């Protein structure tokens, strides 16, 4: 069996060693959401959910009550665009600040990924002090590949944003003068890029590409990143991104790393045919930690710090699958993925989050989208 992690000169062939998923019951907490994209857990036990058409919903699961939160900016709600990811500031309990990522309309035909910061009113009914912190450049026509996952680094001083290459501009993922096919690292207070000195030092060492790099760019050579976590065991951020007809990737992010798209990929053109120069990522391109071929269409992603599903699953990475309607449970140790379990859900899984109770929650991407909870079940006696 092949290694469960990729080396620079070694192609990876899935599947990983298959194991049984934890015993869980899949409970419906609420339904009736319109293509929900992200969920956040507030300190008072209530929830915020984004709906792709452009609504931010406050939901109280104890009372079954919900309402639309007002005050958000216009969104480009076409195709894969709309109101997408949402995270609370690390100090939300004291300042009620949150961040959201969305497809922003530019004129009548173009759009781009944007990130906003806002303050929630005490009654959870409106956003105030809405400020756009970051806008992807350049805006383009089209409805695909916005990326749009948000991730705070552990100290709360940097915010990572994933950016798609908008599908038709895939070669621009290798161009450091724009934001297409990149992850960016910004100051959550003012949106300033935090990588300027890094690229200046590379430039001074003779890397000509680095001399023109945008100061926000953290990594490059991505296609469409749809999930992001901080992995404390590996002490780094991990992401999942869609490949083209195969080659979905789980990547660990290294500052300044180039992840190869579209030069190196395990996927192929829609309808068949190779892309780029090959599958194996030669130095200095970063190989995926694992890849899925055929594609699972990975989306939301979570790190399981709790032991609610047994100590053997503590430290697992969970990845939602849009294509197969399931959750992939990845057993990890430090920066290795050892085993994979598949939990069928029966609907497109858009987001995966761990609640304050240590349990896993899912959002299903449907016109009648659901918030699901995975409740541990006692092991069957032999």
Chain segment 320-353, per-residue pLDDT in tens: 999 999 999 999 999 899 999 999 999 999 999 9
Residue 213 lies in a domain: yes
Task: Give residue 8's pLDDT.
Answer: 40
Lowest mean pLDDT among 56-60, 96-100, 134-138, 291-295: 291-295
pLDDT of residue 15: 55
57: in domain: yes
Which of 299, 373, 377 lies closest to 41, judged by CA?
A: 373
Q: Are strands 336-344 and 290-292 parallel, antiparallel or unpaired?
A: unpaired
pLDDT tops 50 at residue 259 = yes
Q: Is residue 285 part of a domain?
A: no
Domain extent at residue 68: 37-223
Q: How confident is the model at residue 4 (pLDDT cuts 50, 70, 90)?
A: very low
Average pLDDT for the chain: 94
Which tens digit of pLDDT belongs to each residue from 95-118? 999 999 999 999 999 999 999 999
Supply the CATH number for residue 139's domain: 2.120.10.30
Say how far apart CA 310 and CA 9 lie, in whole Å: 36
Answer whether residue 22 is part of any domain: no
Query: Residue 378 contacts by C-beta under 8 Å, 6 or more apart in sequence?
Result: 23
- Active-site positions read 145
Closest to 149 measured CA to CA, from 222, 98, 231, 86: 86
Both tokens of residue 56? 């931010």
Is 108 domain-assigned? yes
In a domain, 269, yes or no: no
Under 8 Å CB-to-CB from 29, ≥6 apart: which residues? Answer: 61, 361, 370, 371, 372, 373
pLDDT of residue 16: 79
Q: What is the pLDDT of residue 54?
A: 98
- Tokens linked to 248: 């979905």
Any domain includes 112? yes
Other beta carbons within 10 Å of 331: 20
Judged by DSSP in three states, 196 sits in helix
Q: Are 327 and 298 in contact (CB under 8 A)?
A: no
Question: Is the pLDDT at 10 greater than 50, yes or no?
Answer: no
Total number of domains in the chain: 1
Residue 378's pLDDT is what?
Answer: 86
DSSP 3-state percent helix, strand, coil across the chain (nearest 5): 5, 45, 50
Domain assignment present for 272: no
Could you give phi then psi for residue 329, rounded to 5 degrees? -100, 115
pLDDT greater than 90 at residue 379: no
């Amino acid at each position: 069996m092949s290694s469960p992690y990729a080396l620079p000169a070694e192609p990876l062939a899935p599947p990983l060693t298959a194991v049984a998923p934890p015993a869980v019951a899949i409970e419906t907490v609420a339904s009736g959401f319109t293509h929900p994209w992200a969920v956040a857990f507030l300190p008072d036990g209530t929830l915020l959910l984004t709906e792709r058409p452009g609504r931010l919903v406050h939901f109280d699961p104890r009372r079954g009550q919900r309402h639309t939160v007002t005050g958000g900016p216009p969104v480009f709600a076409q195709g894969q665009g709309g109101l997408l990811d949402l995270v609370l500031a690390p100090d939300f309990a004291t300042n009620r600040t949150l961040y959201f990522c969305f497809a922003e309309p530019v004129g009548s035909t173009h759009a781009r990924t944007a990130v906003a910061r806002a303050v929630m009113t005490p009654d959870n009914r409106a956003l105030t002090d809405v400020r756009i912190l970051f806008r992807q450049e350049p805006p383009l026509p089209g409805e695909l590949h916005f990326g749009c996952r948000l991730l705070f680094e552990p100290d709360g001083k940097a915010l990572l944003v994933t950016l798609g290459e908008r599908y038709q501009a895939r070669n621009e993922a290798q161009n450091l003068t724009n934001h297409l096919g990149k992850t960016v690292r910004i100051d959550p207070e003012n949106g300033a890029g935090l990588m300027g000195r890094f690229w200046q030092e590379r430039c001074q060492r003779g890397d000509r590409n680095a001399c023109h790099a945008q100061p926000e760019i953290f990594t490059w050579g991505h296609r469409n990143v749809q999930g992001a976590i901080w992995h404390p065991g590996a002490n780094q951020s991990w992401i999942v991104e869609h490949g083209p007809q195969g080659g979905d990737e789980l990547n660990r992010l290294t500052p300044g790393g180039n992840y190869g798209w579209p030069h190196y990929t395990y996927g192929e053109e829609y309808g068949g045919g190779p892309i780029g120069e090959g599958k194996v990522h030669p130095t200095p391109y970063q190989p995926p930690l694992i890849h899925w071929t055929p594609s699972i269409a990975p989306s939301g992603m979570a790190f399981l710090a709790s032991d609610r599903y047994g100590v053997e699953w503590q430290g697992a990475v969970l990845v939602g699958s849009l294509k197969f309607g399931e959750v992939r449970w990845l057993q990890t140790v430090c920066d290795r993925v050892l085993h994979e379990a598949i939990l069928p859900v029966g609907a497109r899984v858009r987001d995966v989050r761990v609640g304050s109770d240590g349990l896993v929650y899912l959002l299903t991407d449907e016109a009648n989208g659901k918030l699901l909870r995975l409740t541990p079940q006692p092991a069957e006696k032999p």
